[in-house]
Chain A
Amino acid sequence: GNSVTQMEGPVTLSEEAFLTINCTYTATGYPSLFWYVQYPGEGLQLLLKATKADDKGSNKGFEATYRKETTSFHLEKGSVQVSDSAVYFCALKVTGGGNKLTFGTGTQLKVEL
């Protein structure tokens, strides 16, 4: 079956620190990969996505590269801000699956001044 594994949180960083949140996946078929973000008190929002190997998704200073050889889609940001504090979910979708998403357990990020 399909599954997503994320590093456990919470991750606590100082403002302007470098962020990496690891995500690896197992999928039957060739998945598209996503990062969703959930800010406090808000719904899930798509942060970025990549649909094929070696694609890089990027948005709001966040990046993730689809690595087929390591089945990974790690999220990175060069300099985090307090406003980036949220829960981040890695997810996948396989072709022909009706676009249903399989999510990881989420990683909480706390950024402090």
Chain B
Amino acid sequence: GAGVSQTPSNKVTEKGKYVELRCDPISGHTALYWYRQSLGQGPEFLIYFQGTGAADDSGLPNDRFFAVRPEGSVSTLKIQRTERGDSAVYLCASRLGGGAETQYFGPGTRLLVL
């Protein structure tokens, strides 16, 4: 079946602009995660959804970052007033839920803020 998909695959924007990054999880997966991977680093947790609600947003770096999952499926990560330091690969992962442990990752969106 289809895996986790993310769009766009690449996004170039200017400092100060607003961007939206989209994640389509595996069908039926109730849990969804966003991570950020800076160059040469491992992914860092941003936010976790269980269904429609954000169960843990402790990884969001500041209030410029926001994410939604209004229908419990597709999620959008929104970044306001982008800064050059926001440049990274943004990864989405989904998990079936319940006792299932494995997270399945999408290919990521590479964001470059000029």
A43–B48 touching, CB < 8 Å:
no
How many chain B residues touch the partner (CB < 8 A)?
27
15 further A-B pairs in the complex, CB-CB below 8 A; given A32-B101, A51-B101, A101-B33: A4-B42, A43-B4, A44-B43, A44-B91, A44-B93, A49-B102, A91-B42, A98-B48, A98-B55, A98-B56, A99-B101, A103-B35, A103-B43, A104-B42, A105-B40
The verdict on A100 contacting B56 (CB below 8 Å), with A43-B105, A43-B106 known, is yes
Contact of B43 among A42, A46, A93, A101 (CB under 8 A): A101
21 pairs from A and B in contact (CB 8 Å cutoff)? A36-B105, A43-B91, A43-B107, A44-B93, A46-B103, A46-B104, A51-B101, A89-B42, A89-B43, A98-B48, A98-B55, A99-B33, A99-B95, A100-B56, A101-B35, A101-B43, A103-B35, A103-B44, A106-B40, A106-B41, A106-B42
Q: Does B25 make an interface contact (CB < 8 A)? A: no
Q: Give the CA-CA distance A73 to B19 in the complex, in Å.
A: 38
Chain B residue at minimum C-beta to C-beta distance from A89: B42
Q: Give the CA-CA distance A32 to B106 in the complex, in Å.
A: 22
CB distance from B27 to the nearest CB of A (A): 17
A105–B42 touching, CB < 8 Å:
yes
Most chain A CB inside 10 Å of its own CB: which residue of B31, B45, B50, B55: B45
Residues of B participating in the A interface, judged by any CB pair closer than 8 Å? 3-4, 31, 33, 35, 40-45, 48, 50, 55-56, 59, 91, 93, 95, 101-108
A100–B41 touching, CB < 8 Å:
no
Q: Give the CA-CA distance A49 to B103 in the complex, in Å.
A: 12
A100–B106 touching, CB < 8 Å:
no
Most chain B CB inside 10 Å of its own CB: which residue of A42, A102, A103: A103
A97 proximity list for chain B (CB < 8 A): 56
B40–A100 touching, CB < 8 Å:
no
The verdict on A99 contacting B106 (CB below 8 Å), with A104-B42, A105-B41 known, is no
Q: Does A45 make an interface contact (CB < 8 A)? A: yes
Chain A residue at minimum C-beta to C-beta distance from B47: A100
